[in-house]
Chain A
Amino acid sequence: GQQVMQIPQYQHVQEGEDFTTYCNSSTTLSNIQWYKQRPGGHPVFLIQLVKSGEVKKQKRLTFQFGEAKKNSSLHITATQTTDVGTYFCADSYSSASKIIFGSGTRLSIRP
């Protein structure tokens, strides 16, 4: 079945350092969504990417969708302690169908 893989599984950085998580699929992704889940919380939607090669920014977060729509990345510049959590990518087959989540990248930060 369709799988979405994320690397790395864990990332521990010094506050102020940058962070990147990668999402890969062996098949073409439909739309990519990114979610953040704080420890003990539920996933919170961050953004959706639809177009090949699309790049979107939200303050210190930069999201990219690969040209072939088989990968995506989330980059955080100058991490802050509030960035702690697990970041998931998710493939939305179509706007009316199921959504497949990656296994997530857990970010922890040294103050």
Chain B
Amino acid sequence: DTGVSQDPRHKITKRGQNVTFRCDPISEHNRLYWYRQTLGQGPEFLTYFQNEAQLEKSRLLSDRFSAERPKGSFSTLEIQRTEQGDSAMYLCASRGTSGRGDEQYFGPGTRLTVT
């Protein structure tokens, strides 16, 4: 257990439905990342927060994806009008303040299946 939690762990949804995932990072970490991972691939960067500010967003991320970190603590990732191609593992990672350790601590992930 890295101290990063994600909820739910599994989500099955029908195409066209909206889904929302939650990530609770390590409490003292101000940096938070979302990744998507498909079978046989490395984690693909989606977006990055420093405190409550979303500082970077992948150009691969369509307008159907949105992420928030309203109080600089937990974060949510929402996918609207899901498509079968959205099926993947969604990973959240947290990282300490710059200069205090660069390792990322990953949560267990949320596995999304779109039918």
Contact = CB atoms under 8 A, between A and B. Distances in A.
Contact of A45 (B40, B98, B105, B109): B105
Contact of A31 (B42, B58, B102, B106): B102
A98 B91 contact: no
Interface residues of B, number: 27
B21 interface: no
Interface residues of A, number: 23
A98 B33 contact: yes
Contacts of B42: 6, 88, 90, 101-104
B25 interface: no
A92 B35 CA distance: 14
Nearest to A95: B98
20 contacts: A33-B102, A42-B108, A43-B43, A45-B104, A48-B102, A48-B103, A88-B43, A90-B42, A92-B102, A96-B31, A96-B55, A97-B48, A98-B45, A98-B56, A99-B33, A101-B43, A101-B45, A103-B42, A104-B40, A104-B41
